[in-house]
Copies of this chain bind each other. A is one copy, B any other.
């Protein structure tokens, strides 16, 4: 029996999932790959821990990174350092690398892929985006004959759980977040999840492999869900929309849009029906049309399923020439493009606006006049009386326009005498072809 010798960095939730799957599905894995997946060594912080399978643990990371018996190092610690240094050392010692670390790939992937290429090694990261959903393989391998036009993903389970609770039970953001923390879906410090940073890391990776551009995390527009109000979720619902926190990337002749923000989606579209902690990624491409992949975006075993997929790919290519590898970012390393990322002011979409006004004749006329001056056409409007403050709540949806037009209009509208407070702005997308 051929062996694939595996070293693992970290022994948390995902690493436990990897170990459990390798043990539980040992027969299937060997029947499929022809290899025994052998866990040679696991780097842990402390030897004083559960080790139900009696695996070989070490607190000296070099027992993994420099171990001559190890073919593949699997980094499952998360964070930037020391993961970055460890992966570099593993590459220096001619180990193939698998990582589930989206923050690391999004911010240091370019340099890591360069080093891996120089050494002729594989560096795989299926588990870094959308947990168990095979979206990296789909983009890198299945859609190779397509021009990718756009993608949109629910790629943070915590955020989707909170939005689902807010919509279905009318709960506030704070209340739903507390629940998510109690259930273990959200961290004690939920910033990465609810402010969209985690989703932006994942979107950075998806946009690169979709369009063949270097990883550019610093150019992603990021808006979280922490300032979403239950009220807007309910108005959106009345208008036929569900609000989801989406990562969106679009390829346009003038440049690429990459943005993470709460988004109104027509309720009839499949992706608006993805609820709870589940993830989904919708890709639109010029050959296949729309393709949606749905599944668990986090959790030990689902994420481990993706790690094992990478392990199998590496096992098949252990003796291969590096020209046979699937390119890291889907495109040959020298074929990445320098297509510009558009600033957010230049993006083009439809909008949802909520404006508070003193209920007097002429207010609506003033608002619509300003929108007309900016060439913005209104699709729908509803006006309700606010119970709290006896003001009028004016809710509008617009047709597609440039973001800077909307922002300029809103500044002008907010300056009107009868307008109170800041206008609420949300973006609308439809993924129907």
A192: B residues at CB distance < 8 A = none
Q: How far is the CA of A215 from the CA of B316 in the complex (A)?
A: 24
The answer to the question of A25 belonging to the interface, with a C-beta cut-off of 8 Å to chain B, is yes
Given contacts A144-B312, A212-B31, contact A295 B304 (CB under 8 A): no
A138: B residues at CB distance < 8 A = 134, 137-138
Q: How far is the CA of A313 from the CA of B320 in the complex (A)?
A: 14
Given contacts A146-B28, A212-B31, contact A302 B288 (CB under 8 A): yes
So how many copies of this chain end up in the complex? 2
The answer to the question of A22 belonging to the interface, with a C-beta cut-off of 8 Å to chain B, is yes
A313: B residues at CB distance < 8 A = 141
A388: B residues at CB distance < 8 A = none
Interface segment, one of A108-116, A217-225, A325-333, A394-402: A325-333
The answer to the question of A86 belonging to the interface, with a C-beta cut-off of 8 Å to chain B, is no
Q: How many residues of A contact B (CB 8 A)?
A: 68
Is B273 within 8 A of A301, CB to CB? Answer: no
Of B25, B29, B142, B319, which contacts A134 at CB under 8 A? Answer: B142
A142: B residues at CB distance < 8 A = 126, 134, 137, 305-306, 309
* Interchain Cβ contacts under 8 Å between A and B, 24 examples: A21-B146, A21-B287, A24-B147, A28-B145, A34-B323, A132-B288, A132-B291, A134-B137, A134-B138, A134-B142, A144-B308, A270-B270, A286-B301, A288-B295, A288-B296, A288-B306, A289-B299, A289-B302, A290-B296, A292-B294, A292-B295, A293-B294, A316-B324, A316-B325
A binding-site residues for B, Cβ under 8 Å = 17, 21-22, 24-25, 28-34, 126, 131-134, 137-138, 141-147, 212, 270, 273-274, 285-296, 299, 301-302, 304-309, 311-313, 316-317, 319-321, 323-327, 330-332, 335
